[in-house]
Chain A
Amino acid sequence: MTAPKKDFDFARPKTIEQLYNLVQECQHEGRQFIFSAGGTDIMPNLKSEILSPDIVISLTGLRALNNIEKQGDHIIIGALTSLSELCSNNNIQKYLPALARAAHKVASPQIRNRATIGGNIMVENRCSYINQSPINRESHSPCFKIGGDVCHLVKSAKRGDDILCQARFVSDTAPLLLLQNSTVNIIGPAGSKEIKLADLYLNDGIESKSLMHGEIITHIKVEITENSLSHYEKLTIRNALDFPSLGVAALRRGNGDISVALTGLNTRPGVFHAKLENHETSDDMIVDICRKANDFTVTYQQDFFPRGYRKNMISVFIRRAINKILEGAKS
Chain B
Amino acid sequence: MKLLNLTINGRKHTKAVSPSMTLLDFLREELNLTGTKNGCDKGACGCCSVMIDDKPMLSCLLPALEAEGAAITTIEGIAKGNALHPVQEAMIEMGAIQCGFCTPAMVINGVHMLAKNNNPDDDEVKECISATVCRCTGYNSIEKALHLAASKMRRAAHDGS
Instruction: List the B side residues contacting A7 at CB < 8 Å.
Output: 18-20
Q: Return B28 CB to nearest CB of chain A, in Å.
A: 10
Q: Does A110 contact B (CB under 8 A)?
A: yes
A-B contact count (CB 8 A): 95
Label chain B's interface by main secondary structure: mixed
Contacts A108-B46, A113-B57; A2 near B130 (Cβ below 8 A): no
Interface flags, B1-44, vs A, CB<8A=1, else 0: 01000000000000000111110010000000000001001111
Interface positions, chain A 225-240, Cβ under 8 Å from B, are 239-240
Q: Does A109 contact B (CB under 8 A)?
A: yes
Q: Does A13 contact B (CB under 8 A)?
A: no
Instruction: List the B side residues contacting A113 at CB < 8 Å.
Output: 52, 55-57
Among A42-50, A205-213, A303-311, which stretch is in contact with chain B? Answer: A42-50
Instruction: List the A side residues contacting B130 at CB < 8 Å.
Output: 108-109, 239-241
Interchain CA distance A40-B46 in the complex, whole Å: 13
Instruction: List the A side residues contacting B42 at CB < 8 Å.
Output: 1, 43-44, 47-48
Instruction: List the B side residues contacting A239 at CB < 8 Å.
Output: 127, 130
Q: Does A266 contact B (CB under 8 A)?
A: no
Q: Does B93 contact A (CB under 8 A)?
A: no
* A/B interface sample: 22 pairs, CB < 8 A: A1-B42, A2-B25, A4-B20, A8-B19, A39-B62, A39-B66, A43-B22, A43-B43, A43-B61, A43-B62, A44-B42, A46-B20, A47-B41, A109-B130, A110-B57, A110-B109, A111-B58, A111-B61, A113-B56, A114-B61, A114-B62, A240-B130
Give 19 A-B pairs besides A10-B66, A43-B42, A110-B109 with Cβ atoms closer than 8 angstroms.
A4-B20, A7-B18, A7-B19, A7-B20, A9-B19, A9-B20, A12-B65, A12-B68, A39-B63, A44-B42, A46-B20, A58-B66, A84-B55, A107-B43, A109-B56, A111-B131, A113-B56, A114-B57, A240-B127
**Which A residues contact B (CB, under 8 angstroms)?**
1-4, 6-10, 12, 39-40, 43-44, 46-48, 56, 58, 60, 84, 107-111, 113-114, 239-241
**Which B residues contact A (CB, under 8 angstroms)?**
2, 18-22, 25, 38, 41-44, 46, 49, 52, 55-58, 60-63, 65-66, 68, 109, 127-128, 130-131
